[in-house]
Amino acid sequence: MSALADWPVVFALPALVILAGLTPRAARVLPQAAAALMLAQLLVVFNVCRPAFARAEGSVGDLGIGGLTAAFLIITTIVAAASFVQAAALLPAERADAPEQGITDRRLCFFYTLAGSFLAAMYAVLLSHNLGFMWISMEATTLLSAPLVYYHRTQRSLEAAWKYLLLCSVGIAFALFGTVLLVAAQHASGEGASLLFGRLIANGSALDPRLVRLGFVFCVLGYGAKAGLFPLHNWLPDAHSEAPAPASAMLSGGLLNCALVAIWRVAQVTQAAGQGHLVRQILVPAGAITVLAASLMLLRQSDLKRMWAYSSVEHVGLLALAIGVGSTPVFILHALNHSLVKVALFLLSGSIIHVYGTKSLPKLRGLLNVAPAWGIALFAGAFAIAGSPPFGTFLSEWLLLRDTFAAGEAVAGGAVILGLTVAFVAISIHASRVLFGAAPPSVLRRPREAWVAAPAALLLAGLVTGLALTPPAMRFLTMLALGGQP
């Protein structure tokens, strides 16, 4: 029972979705069935993860669940469940309303096969406590999600898919070099090289510091490209804006976290080798610059989904900063808050784009008149992603700033405050233009207000994480981050 109830179980329901997607005859029922399966998956994953909450990351074998893994498995599953629920509404409607796109049964079903495999690959990244397995799974996420970006078969989406595939593969090649350097760093230890996270941490003092430093730099370059750290973020807005909304949501709310978890693991190894100062010297400025650069780019956006993509870059900067100053509980908390809100926004934007027939910001006006419920949700989401109270994002950003200043990184802290302010202004301007004013005559279709359900549930959860952040909740996060009872 115990072996069966462990990590392999998380792959069961995604495997069903993958297989069902291979039969085009399932097209009529597959969207609803997949959504139901993913909602059930929430329960499965939570039950598998519950015994692991207090397990230290270093005590896990090649594949397994520790406290941090459990947190991110749950976040990724929430993201996937919401995306699949929205996909069940959006994708069939899109197909029926826009026959000129020529979306066949086969393509619709293949979307589910790819999305299910992509989810499984993300699970594999999180479960891998072997840096080699982690690399293999990470490359698999790129290969499986690039075709998702090309779902609409437009020239732009093809170009975005190519850019994504190439830049991330090159980036990830750097991470492979970094991983090999970490193996080479074990030349002094007698018992042969290992890529096991726990072993690397335990033998940290026997690692060659010179090669560990190089390995860390290459891994940050590689996984940083995948996470979208400035200036390696180039592919991210294209891929996230051209993909269909449920895929954008999974890329933004799931995959970015996976890349950051990879950086977190390598940072832990580097720290164990006595090179913690390097982690800080690299990740703190990289995070702060990313926040600042992304917020400046947010100002001049003319595309709704690109705007949320740049906002994801900004939050990746914040998360990298959290890893840099070594506050893992805040890293987990902010990743959760960002994923909840950003997924809600991407899913909502998919519906808005469907109704307006464009994603160009200057043409999106008067959402509160067109679809009041969607408007209110977008208002709340924009407010939350900009880091306003009482949403969870406000608290996690505040805690992150507190830890940044406590770590003596005042310059980075100042830059982040400036960046967050600019981002707040930028998002408020763009969102208010979408919300208010008269609806343009070009609105194509009548909105279906029920489509707000999944985003609204996510935003509600994002509100609860803000309101329920009591001292026991903080202690629970610390337990997840450090393993064992604090």
Partner 1 sequence: MHLSTQEYIAGTAAVLAVWMCGLTQVRLALRGLAAQTALLAVATAALGLERHAPYELLLAAVVLVVKAGAIPAYLAWAAGRLDIRRDAGALLSPTLSMLAGLGLLATGFFLAPRFATPASGHAGMAGMALALVFSGMLLMLTRRLALSQLIGFLVMENGIFLYSLTQTAGMPMIVEMGVVFDVLVGVLVAGLVIFRLNRSFEHIDVTQLRGLRN
Residues that bind partner 1 (CB under 8 A): 130, 132-133, 135-136, 139-140, 142-143, 146-147, 150, 155-156, 158-163, 165-166, 169-170, 173, 176-177, 180-181, 183-188, 192-195, 208, 210-211, 214, 238, 242, 302-303, 306
What is the nearest approach in angstroms of partner 1 to the Cβ of residue 387?
Answer: 25
**For partner 1, which is the closer residue by CB, 74 or 126?**
126
- Nearest-Å Rg of the Cα atoms of the chain is 21
**For partner 1, which is the closer residue by CB, 22 or 406?**
22
Q: How far is CA 253 from the centre of its chain?
A: 3
For 154-167, give one letter per residue: b (16+ CB within 10 A) or e: eeebeebbebbbeb
Contact status, residue 68 vs residue 481, Cβ threshold 8 Å: yes
Residue type, 435: L
* Tokens encoding 230: 């400035």
What is the nearest approach in angstroms of partner 1 to the Cβ of residue 275?
Answer: 15
Q: Which H helix or E strand runs over 183?
A: helix 155-184
**For partner 1, which is the closer residue by CB, 153 or 277?**
153
Contact status, residue 367 vs residue 443, Cβ threshold 8 Å: no
**For partner 1, which is the closer residue by CB, 240 or 338?**
240
Look at the block and give the residue holding tokens 């002094």.
188
Strand positions, DSSP E, 193-247: none
* Closest C-alpha to 250, from 118, 371, 422, 159: 118
What is the nearest approach in angstroms of partner 1 to the Cβ of residue 135?
Answer: 7
**For partner 1, which is the closer residue by CB, 166 or 444?**
166
* Closest C-alpha to 328, from 482, 202, 466, 204: 482
What is the nearest approach in angstroms of partner 1 to the Cβ of residue 155?
Answer: 5
Contact status, residue 79 vs residue 343, Cβ threshold 8 Å: yes
What is the nearest approach in angstroms of partner 1 to the Cβ of residue 272?
Answer: 19
**For partner 1, which is the closer residue by CB, 64 or 462?**
64
What is the nearest approach in angstroms of partner 1 to the Cβ of residue 325?
Answer: 28
Contact status, residue 471 vs residue 393, Cβ threshold 8 Å: no
What is the nearest approach in angstroms of partner 1 to the Cβ of residue 175?
Answer: 10
* Tokens encoding 96: 């029926």
Alpha-carbon distances, residue 110 vs 115, 147, 180, 239, 363 (angstroms): 8, 10, 35, 19, 32
**For partner 1, which is the closer residue by CB, 148 or 385?**
148
**For partner 1, which is the closer residue by CB, 221 or 320?**
221
What is the nearest approach in angstroms of partner 1 to the Cβ of residue 238?
Answer: 5
